[in-house]
Amino acid sequence: MSAYVSTGSGLKSTTKAAAFVEAMRMLNEAEIARNSANPGLTPRNNVTISASFDTKTYAIAVSLPIQNALDATGKWVLDASDYLGPAFSAFVVGTGQAKSTDLPSLALELAQILSVAEKAITPEADQPNNIQIAYDNESGLATISANIPFSAIIGSAGEVTLTAVDYV
């Protein structure tokens, strides 16, 4: 199991895949809230999420504006820009694994965490490739593409609950 520690944060998930999906939904909902509150501004629709019951996967596509710089030791430091503003994208960090304070940065951080977890699976031939992250300094964008498996449960009142499968 790929445990994710969310202690005191705005996330409830306990696995890396579920935390990633939860963060993407939170960012998507923040975009919807920002667009609704600002009808005169250009809408922000950088996150798309769909669920296929045929393949039992979430298809997630995210395009995040990024900022990057070199730190004092010459290492490249990259972060997602808060393109929604703190009123819509603030994130409660807590003492869990994620350290980001806004939802765009959290989305990128959790994508990285999940990608690293995929690469840690041995043997290498068994490594899934359900998440891809591409950085383009010229355009100033990070692009995340993911296909995350889920399980679907129908509850006693007919409600359908989708839960990301812990595949790493």
pLDDT digits (tens, 9 = 90+) for 30-54: 999 999 999 999 999 999 999 999 9
Read off φ and ψ for residue 29, nearest 5 degrees. Answer: -65, -35
99 pLDDT higher than 70: yes
Query: Comparing C-alpha atoms, which of 82, 86, 106 is closest to residue 96?
Result: 106
Using a CB cutoff of 8 Å and minimum separation of 24, what contacts does 110-119 make?
110/16, 110/19, 110/20, 110/23, 111/20, 111/62, 111/144, 111/146, 113/4, 113/16, 113/19, 113/20, 114/16, 114/17, 114/20, 114/146, 114/168, 117/2, 117/16, 117/168, 118/168
pLDDT digits (tens, 9 = 90+) for 58-97: 999 999 999 988 999 999 899 999 999 999 999 999 998 9
pLDDT digits (tens, 9 = 90+) for 121-159: 999 999 999 999 999 999 999 999 999 999 999 999 999
Q: In whole numbers, what is the pLDDT of the chain averaged over residues?
A: 96
Q: How far apart are CA 105 and CA 27, in angstroms?
A: 10
Domain boundaries, the chain: 16-164
Q: What is the pLDDT of residue 1?
A: 67
